[in-house]
Each structure stands twice: as C-alpha cells, then as structure tokens.
C-alpha cells in the first residue's frame, strides 16, 4: 500500500500539520494558508466525513448490519 501524504498533498495531513504547527482551527484549512484548491479539498473532506458519521448512527438506529 502506498500513501501519497505530506504537506500540500494529503488534505487531512496538511490540516493536521497546520494544527500541529500552531494554526488555530478556522485557519488550519483556510484558503489564506493553503491556497484555494487545497482549501476546497479540505472543506469537501470535512463535509463528506460528517455524512459518514450521520450514516453510521442512522444505520445503528435501524439496526442494519453489513454481512
């Protein structure tokens, strides 16, 4: 398995490294810090991650299990 991470490559890793280096939460993924394209990718990743969380709890509620 290959991981193509690193600053400016992986959205999650870039936001994490920004946090680790002292950027506060709203700015760690902002356009001002990362540029427009990467900032939009970080925002998209955050958006889709919330749907995974919602789906997980919804599936538990209806007691749906994967085989």
R_g of the chain computed on alpha carbons: 15
What's the mean pLDDT in 38-59? Answer: 84
Highest mean pLDDT among 24-28, 45-49, 57-61: 24-28
- Rounded to the nearest 5°, which phi and psi values hold at 8? 85, 0
| pTM of the predicted structure, to 2 decimals | 0.61
What is d(CA 46, CA 66) in angstroms, rounded to the nearest whole number? 25
Position 67 scores a pLDDT of 52
- Distance between CA atoms of 31 and 64, rounded to whole angstroms? 39
Contact of 11 with 40, CB cutoff 8 Å: no
Q: What is the model's pLDDT at position 58?
A: 83
Q: Tally the C-alpha atoms within 13 A of residue 36's C-alpha that lie toward its C-beta.
A: 0
pLDDT single digits (tens) 1-44: 677 788 888 888 888 899 999 999 888 888 899 899 988 888 88
């Amino acid at each position: 398995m290959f991981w193509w991470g690193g600053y400016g490559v992986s959205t999650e890793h870039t936001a994490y490294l920004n946090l680790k280096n002292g950027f506060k939460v709203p700015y760690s993924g902002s356009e001002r810090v990362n540029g427009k394209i990467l900032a939009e990718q970080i925002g998209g990743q955050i958006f889709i991650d919330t749907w995974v969380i919602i789906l997980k709890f919804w599936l538990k509620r209806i007691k749906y299990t994967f085989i």
